[in-house]
Amino acid sequence: MNHSFTRWALPGIAALALLAPSRPAAAQARQEYLLTTDWKFTKGEQPNAAQPGFNDAKWQTVSVPHDWAIYGPFDGNNDLQKVKIEQNNEKTATLKAGRTGGLPFIGTGWYRRKLAVPGFKAGKRAVLLFDGAMSNAHVFVNGKEVGSWPYGYNSFSFDITPFLKAGADNTLAVRLQNQSEASRWYPGAGLYRNVHLIVTDDVHIPVWGTYLTTSDITAQSAKVKLRTQVAVPTGTRPALRLVTEIRDAAGKVVATTTSNLAATGKPEFEQNLDLPQPKIWSPETPVLYTAASKLYAGQVLKDEYRTRFGVRSFKFEKDKGFSLNGQSRKFKGVCNHHDLGPLGAAVNTAALRHQLTLLKDMGCDAIRTSHNMPAPELVALADEMGFMLMVEAFDEWKAPKVKNGYSQYFDQWAEKDLVNMVRRDRNHPSVIMWSIGNEVPDQSNPNGPILAKRLQDIVRREDPTRPIAAGMDRFDDDFKYGLAPAVEIPGFNYKPHRYAEALSKLPQGFLLGSETASTVSSRGVYKFPVVTAKEKKYDDNQCSSYDLEACSWSQTPDEEFVQQDDLPNVIGEFVWTGFDYLGEPTPYDEKWPSHSSMFGMLDLAGMPKDRYYLYRARWNTAQPTVHLLPHWTWPGREGQTTPVFCYTSYPSAELFVNGVSQGRQTKAKSDKPQTRYRLMWNDVKYAPGSIKVVAYDAQGKAAAEETVRTAGQPHHIKLVADRTTLAADGQDLAYVTARVEDKDGNLCPDAADQLQVAVTGAGRFRAMGNGDPTSLELFHQPQMHAFHGQLVAIVQASNKAGDVQLKVTGAGLQAGTLQLKTAVK
Ligand code: GAL
C-alpha cells in the first residue's frame, strides 16, 4: 500500500479485507482511502498551480483536515468590516473587527498532492469525495478541472475516472477562495474536512447510493426497506444480484435477503426485510444495526456497501407535539457552530466526541447544526452516542444577510446543496428533522413562503420520512407573509413571550424554540451589582456569569423555561449555544480584541460556565446537580453585598456563610422567572472563609451539599485529564485542564499566570485555550495565560503505543505533571 494513504476507519467500510493484496480479486471490489498526508499548501493566488509539473517544493507540507487560518495571528484588520447587523436591530453601520474571529481566513489557498490510485485500470472507477472544503472549491486532476462546489459546508463528490492515468502518479490540486463579508461567524479555511478517494469496479453502488427506512415497528418486528442504486457502464445492462445481511450491534446476522435486478429494470434494487425483535434507537439507547450489501454480476463480487441505521419512530402531531418511539418528549437541545475552539474548523472525531460527552453529561439530547451541514463525523457520533439532530442547510436564501453570503449562489445551487445534504445523512437515526433556513430575510417578503415551498419540495422528494423546519425571528412578518404556517415545523428564535399567541394562530398546532436564550457570560467573571441587563458592556469586554445578561433580542434561560414548562405544545428548545465559537463577540462586536462569542454554556476551550449547571439541573434527570456561584475569593469586598446562586436539581437548599445560615430558599413561581429555576440569596455579605449549601429533596431530606472556599495564594498547577488512555491512531486527543490552585487545592479564581506546556513520549502538544474571548494568544503555541485560574491543553496521540508525559509549568508555581497512555485498539 502506498504509504501516503490512510485507511478509512469510519464504521461501515469493509476496509481491512479490501487492502490485503493477497486476497482474491473479488474481495477488492471497493477501496476507500482518506487523503490525509503529504499535502502541499500555500496561501495566495498561484498561476499554473493546477498543472502537474508545477513546482510546489517551497509550499508547506500539511495534513488534512487542515484549517489554514487557525494559526493566526489574530488581528482586527483580518476581517474588519463596516456593517449594520440587521439581525441585532442595529440602525447604523459601524466598524466591526473580530465579527468572524479576527483570523486570516479571507483569500485564496491552494492544496496539491500526488494521487496514486491503487489498482486503477480499465473497468475501474475512481471518485473523490470531499466532506467539505471552505470554500469555492475548484478541483483539478492532472491539470484539468473536474468540478467545483461553492458552499463550504457541503459534501460533494466528483468522478475522476476520465482524468486519471493508469499506473502513473496523478496530481490532485484544489483551489479554495474565501470572500470577505461572506459569513456571520468564523468559517475556517481550507480542506478542513476529510477528502476520500473511492475506487470501485465500473459496476458499483455510487456515493450515498442507499436509502434505508424502517416502519411498522413493534416489539416483535420492524420492516426495513433498503433501496440501493447501481451504476453500470453506459450501454451495458448486466444482470445483477444484491445480497443484503442485517447485522446487529454485536455483528450477528439477524436478517438476510437476495434480490435480482432484471437486465431491463431501472438501476435500483428495492429490498424489504423483517427485522425480528428490533432494539430501538433513542438518545438513551443508541442501538445501531448495519445493512451489509454485496453486489454480484454472476459469481463475481462487484461491490460491497454498508449502511448503518437505527430503528426508531417519531411523530410531530397537531396539539400533541413531538413523540419519539411513542413517548412524548421535548427537545433538550443546543445550537452549535462547527468550529472546535482551539482546533479551529479542522474536524477531529475525538474533539467532537469530547464535546458530545460534555453535552451528554448536561442531559442535552439534541443538536441543531447551525446554520449549515455538519461534518459526517458529528452525525456518526450522534448516532452512536444518542443525540437527535436538526440538520440545517442555510443561513440565507435569496435575500442577503452579508454582502457575499450564500444568496449569490442560491438560485443555481440551493437544489444541489439540499440534495447532497439529504442523501448523505438520510440513513442516520440521529437525524430527526431537516432545517431549510435560519432567520432568512426572505421572511419579510411574499416570496418567502414560495421559496420555502420550493425547498421543502426538494427535501421531501429526497426524504419523505422527516419533517422540515425553519428558524424564524420576524414574528409578525412570519404570519403576515406566511412562512410560519408554511413550514412543517415552525421554529421561533427568541420569542418565548409570543409562543402562546403563535400557538393560537399556527395550523400545525405546535412550535419549536429553534433558537433560544443567547444569554452572555464569561467563565469565572462576576460583576456587581448583580442586575438583569441587556447589552451590558464593561471595560474589560467580559460579561457576568450570574447569567442575567442578554442581548436586545435575547433572554435569560429562565424566561424560555417558563414557556417551555407552561405551554404543552412547545416541543422543546435549541439553546444558543452549547459551546462558545470563534466570531460574533456580541455585545462587543465593535470592541476589539473581542473575537469569540459569549453565548456558550461552555467556553471556547470547552470548560463549563455556571450556565452549564443551570441546564444540567433541568435536563439531566439521572444525576443530581448542586452548583454554587460565584467563587468566594473577593479581597476588598468584605462586608459588601455578594449574591450567591445555587443551580440545583433539588427543589430547595439552605446556604451557610462561614457556618452561619442565610436561610433556606425554595424554587417558586413569582413575577421573576429566575425564582422558579434558581435558588438565590441576594443579600449575602462577603466575608472570607466558605459558603456551603445543603440541598433538600422533595421529601425535605438533606440530599447533597456543596462548599466553595476562599482561596489563598497560587501554589501549584493541578492537571485533570478527561481521559487517560488514548488510541494510538495519530488523531485521538486528551483534554487536560490545568488549574492554578492554592496549597489546599482550592482554585485560585483570578489567577492569570502564564503557563507552559511540554509533551514528551507517544504524543504531542496540539493546542490550548483558556476561554477568554479577548485573548490574542495563539492556540497552537505551548504557552498561554490562565483565564480565571484555568486553561485546557489538548494532547494528541501519536501512532505508537506508549506513555505520554505532560508537564505544565508557571513561574512561582509547583509544576503539574501527568502521564497518559496510548494503546493500539
Ligand atoms: C440569532 C442568529 C444566530 C446568532 C444569534 C446570536 O439571531 O440566528 O446565528 O447570531 O442570533 O444571539
CATH number at residue 653: 2.60.40.10
The Å distance, Cα 101 to ligand 1 centre, comes to: 15
Determine if ligand 1 sits within 6 Å of the CB of residue 473: yes
**Which of 515, 560, 654, 741 is an active site residue?**
515
DSSP 696-757: E-TTS-EEEEEEEE---S--EEEEEES-SEEESSS--EEEEEEEEE-TTS-B-TT---EEEE
Of the chain, the percentage scoring pLDDT greater than 90 comes to 93
C-alpha 530: how far from chain center: 33
Pick the last residue of a domain from 709, 738, 771. Answer: 709
Q: How does residue 85 score in pLDDT terms, banded at 50, 70 and 90? A: confident
> Is 558 domain-assigned?
no
Question: Does residue 48 come out as left (phi exceeding 0), alpha (psi in the -120 to 50 range) or beta?
Answer: left
Whole-model pTM above 0.85?
yes
Decide if pLDDT at 9 tops 80.
no
Determine if ligand 1 sits within 6 Å of the CB of residue 518: yes
The Å distance, Cα 550 to ligand 1 centre, comes to: 12
Q: How does residue 432 score in pLDDT terms, banded at 50, 70 and 90? A: very high
- Is residue 584 within 8 A of residue 597, CB to CB? The reply is yes
Determine if ligand 1 sits within 6 Å of the CB of residue 589: no
Residue 213 is predicted with a pLDDT of 98
Q: Is 181 a catalytic residue?
A: no
Contacts of 821 (CB under 8 A, 6+ apart): 724, 725, 726, 762, 801, 802, 803, 804
- Is residue 463 within 8 A of residue 434, CB to CB? The reply is yes
Chain segment 121-156, per-residue pLDDT in tens: 999 999 999 999 999 999 999 999 999 999 999 999
Q: Give the orientation angle of helix 410-425 with respect to helix 376-385, to 10 degrees.
A: 40
Residue 6 is predicted with a pLDDT of 31
The Å distance, Cα 105 to ligand 1 centre, comes to: 21
Residues 642, 677: one domain? yes
Residues 139, 273: one domain? no
Residues 653, 775: one domain? no
The number of distinct structural domains making up the chain is 4
Determine if ligand 1 sits within 6 Å of the CB of residue 305: no
Distance between CA atoms of residues 821 and 597, nearest Å: 34
Residues 220, 282: one domain? yes
Question: Is 804 strand, coil or helix?
Answer: strand
Chain length of the chain: 825
Residues 148, 292: one domain? no
Q: What is the CATH number of the domain that holds 185?
A: 2.60.120.260
Phi, psi angle pair for 502, to nearest 5°: -60, -45
Chain segment 680-711, per-residue pLDDT in tens: 999 999 999 999 999 999 999 999 999 999 99
> Is 157 domain-assigned?
yes
Distance between CA atoms of residues 81 and 97, nearest Å: 7
Residues 769, 787: one domain? yes
Which protein residue's CA is at the shortest distance from atom 7 of ligand 1? 87
Test site for ligand 1: of 96, 186, 584, most ligand atoms within 8 A of the Cβ: 584
Residues 763, 684: one domain? no
> Is 252 domain-assigned?
yes
Contacts of 470 (CB under 8 A, 6+ apart): 435, 436, 437, 438, 440, 452, 483, 487, 489, 490, 491, 514
The pairing of strands 783-785 and 268-276 is unpaired
Contacts of 672 (CB under 8 A, 6+ apart): none
> Is 478 domain-assigned?
no
Pick the last residue of a domain from 147, 163, 193. Answer: 193
> Is 78 domain-assigned?
no
Determine if ligand 1 sits within 6 Å of the CB of residue 417: no
Q: How does residue 235 score in pLDDT terms, banded at 50, 70 and 90? A: confident
* Mean pLDDT for the chain overall: 95
Test site for ligand 1: of 185, 371, 474, 515, most ligand atoms within 8 A of the Cβ: 515
Residue 409 is predicted with a pLDDT of 98
Please compute Rg for the chain using Cα positions: 27
Residue 638 sits in which domain range?
632-709
Residue 596: half-sphere exposure toward Cβ, Cα within 13 Å: 30
Residues 9, 41: one domain? no
The Å distance, Cα 533 to ligand 1 centre, comes to: 18
- Is residue 591 within 8 A of residue 576, CB to CB? The reply is no
Distance between CA atoms of residues 291 and 307, nearest Å: 5
The candidate with the shortest Cα–Cα distance to 604, out of 807, 277, 340, is 340
> Is 625 domain-assigned?
no
> Is 548 domain-assigned?
no
Pick the last residue of a domain from 142, 167, 193. Answer: 193
> Is 228 domain-assigned?
yes
Determine if ligand 1 sits within 6 Å of the CB of residue 177: no
Residues 118, 56: one domain? yes
Residues 129, 217: one domain? no
Residues 42, 146: one domain? yes
C-alpha 682: how far from chain center: 37
Q: What is the mean pLDDT of residues 28-57?
A: 95
Residues 163, 217: one domain? no
Decide if pLDDT at 255 tops 90.
yes
Q: What is the mean pLDDT of residues 436-464?
A: 97
